[in-house]
């Protein structure tokens, strides 16, 4: 499963978020509910790799909708 890793800028918690087409702008920190997040890693869904073709878990089969 494509997963993004986020770091909360409010409480410094790290957490992972599954790569979904509808996460953008809706992800909040599970620890404090904050929305000031920094994406620290996209292990399976890195923009710039293969033009997004290797992100099989994203909606539509590419990364265009989940960057």
Residue 32 touching Zn ion (CB under 5 A): yes
Which CB atom, from 33 or from 47, has the smaller least distance to Zn ion? 33
The smaller minimum CB distance to Zn ion, of residues 18 and 32, is found at 32
34 binds Zn ion (CB under 5 A): yes
Region of 18 (left: φ > 0; alpha: ψ -120 to 50; beta: rest) is beta
63 binds Zn ion (CB under 5 A): no
Size of the site for Zn ion (CB under 5 A): 8
Region class of 44: left (phi > 0), else alpha (psi between -120 and 50), else beta: alpha
d(CA 37, CA 24): 11
Interface residues with Zn ion (CB under 5 A)?
Answer: 8, 10-11, 13, 29, 31-32, 34
């Amino acid at each position: 499963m494509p997963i993004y890793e986020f770091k909360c800028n409010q409480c410094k918690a790290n957490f992972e978020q599954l790569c979904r087409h509808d996460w953008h702008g809706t992800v909040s920190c599970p620890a404090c509910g904050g929305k000031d997040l920094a994406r620290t890693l996209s292990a399976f869904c890195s923009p710039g790799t293969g033009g997004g073709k290797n992100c099989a878990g994203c909606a539509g089969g590419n990364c265009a909708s989940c960057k």
